[in-house]
Amino acid sequence: MRFLKLILISVIALFVLMLFFSILMPSTVLVSRAIDINAPMDSIRYRVSDLNQWIYWVKGMRSNNVNIASAKKAQLGNSTVTVMDITDTSVIMNWETHNSALQTSTMHLISHPGSSVSTVQWQFEQHLKWYPWEKLGSFLNDKILGPMMEQNLLNLKHWTENQPVDLNTPNL
């Protein structure tokens, strides 16, 4: 009986400690990566805003569990990606998972006047609930998303710099 009481008190103390620690952590997590691409801004914007173009630079887009419904909506495994807004300087997307977790992905397109180089900055923003396990699990976001984002941005750079696009052709 005494042993069970010790275990119960230890579990409660550990939970309270995790809860206190999670209260001190931010409720928004941001993972960001950027790359410079030697290409016109319109060409880059077209490739990142049209989900049909993602098959050329996002790893896994040619998988059987990917269904691209339109240029603005796709099902990627357990996630639904929806392009929400396209401006001259950004593309904003919502990524919703099967368990209703929502992340906002923004691709900032930064031009450098007098230069042919443009910067693409891709970020994922996730708003967390107060749950200790959710906040502690968010420590892994950078380790999971970061390398994937870096590789996909490198793919975008290579494809954009080596395969120019003529945006005036009617089939685009």
pLDDT per residue as tens digits for the range 158-172: 999 987 655 444 444
Run of H or E residues at 83 = strand 79-86
pLDDT at residue 34, as a whole number: 96
Q: Share the mean pLDDT of the chain.
A: 85
Q: Using the 8-state DSSP alphabet, how is residue 134 labeled?
A: H
Strands 28-38 and 79-86: unpaired
pLDDT at 71 over 70: yes
Q: Which fold has domain 26-162?
A: Alpha-D-Glucose-1,6-Bisphosphate; Chain A, domain 4 (3.30.530)
pLDDT at residue 4, as a whole number: 86
Domain boundaries, the chain: 26-162
pLDDT at residue 49, as a whole number: 93
- Whether pTM > 0.95 for this model: the answer is no
pLDDT per residue as tens digits for the range 51-70: 999 999 999 888 888 999 99
pLDDT at residue 135, as a whole number: 72
Q: Pick from 150, 141, 94, 164: which is nearest to 120 by CA?
A: 150
